[in-house]
A and B are shown apart, each in its own frame.
Chain A
Amino acid sequence: MKIDKELLKGATETAVLAVLSAEPCHGYELIRKLRERSQGVLQLGEGTLYPLLYKLEAKGAIEGAWETSTGERRRRVYRVTARGRAHLDQRSRQWRYMARGIDLVLGVPAYA
């Protein structure tokens, strides 16, 4: 199912931070992990991911560094900073709160 862009806007940033907070990774890996962890719901395109990563880096939520693993060429690996973690915590709480509200409005059985 294709998700409306407006709905995805805020969620993508939170999802990227959540994946990176579990383990630092480079762009390609990040897209794969996002797809796996969301069971195919979040299929982020490369053209969306990189500008988002650069924005998060500018905000100080993540930091990128070139790293070389054995037998491979160097890659830019991103990890979450303390500020990013705080931002993620806040966003997660807001997201759960909002999701609960939407579920209640839509009459999802768990809350109804």
Chain B
Amino acid sequence: MRDPVEEWIADVLAGSGLSMSRRAEISEEWRRHIDTLIQNCCRGEVADSRAVRAALDAFGRPEVLRRQLRRAQRTIDTRAALSETLRGLWLLTLTPAILVAVLAFFIEGFSLWQGCAAGLAFIVVLALPMAVCNYLVVRMRVILLRPRPRAEINLPRRFLFWMMSASMALAACVLTGGLLILTAAPLFIWGEIGRTGSAVVLPFQRWFAAAVLDNSTHFDGRLPWLVATVIVASAAATLIERSRSVCAGR
């Protein structure tokens, strides 16, 4: 026959939406607590079954407890997702930004500070889509993978998760490209301002606008190569970050 305490804990934790490892940890923690309560009751010469009942009653009604655990878990998940998003965002935006800065400095002959400003401008442009993408991927992982035991995370579920992650990364890249074009549009329309204006005003946009306006001479046909490199770098950084998180079991 199964231990009534174990059974009660398993019943409470079953609908709590917690990960298996978290459930095991909480289960052990509560078991110790309940054992101590039972011991104290038995010392007071209470029959075993009544002592168990009293100990379990101290924890309250299972449905209330389950609801509170779920609420606590939601807070934990949201905080974890946000902190992971911020952590991931740094990596996801930094890689392409460094690439942009390096390209601007070595290939386009920008000065060092202009190269750095281009990288910084790129971070600003990239931050929003990457943040959205990263947050959605983190939440998706919680929904699709986390509350289930490893055996239940079957191949279709895993495939679905990776496919959705890849779509998110792609969407972020497309969005980034869109934002780049959007921010460069005024300079594209009033190209002269972009080319003759102060170099202090977002050098990257100036650079991008110049590339669009004067593709053949300025970039010598390297623009598609540059865009492709940025997209590949962003996608690679996204996948590296995702794999790192999944391997770390987060």
Which A residues lie at the B interface, using CB under 8 A?
A: 26-28, 45-48, 50-52, 54-55, 57-59, 73-76
Contacts and interface: CB of A to CB of B under 8 A. Distances in A.
| Interface SS majority for chain A | helix
A48 B58 contact: no
B37 interface: yes
Contact of A28 (B25, B28, B36, B64): B36
B76 interface: yes
A60 to B, nearest CB: 8
Contact of A47 (B26, B36, B60, B80): B60
A58 B79 contact: yes
Contacts of A74: 32
Nearest to A73: B32
B58 A28 contact: no
B16 to A, nearest CB: 10
Interface of B: 25-26, 28-30, 32-33, 36-37, 58-61, 64-65, 68-69, 71-73, 75-76, 79-80
A3 to B, nearest CB: 17
A26 B58 CA distance: 16
Given A45-B60, A55-B72, A55-B75, 10 more contacts: A27-B33, A28-B37, A46-B58, A46-B60, A47-B61, A48-B68, A58-B72, A59-B75, A76-B25, A76-B28
A32 to B, nearest CB: 10
A28 B29 CA distance: 10
A5 to B, nearest CB: 12
Given A58-B76, A73-B32, A47 B68 contact: yes
Contacts of A26: 29, 32-33
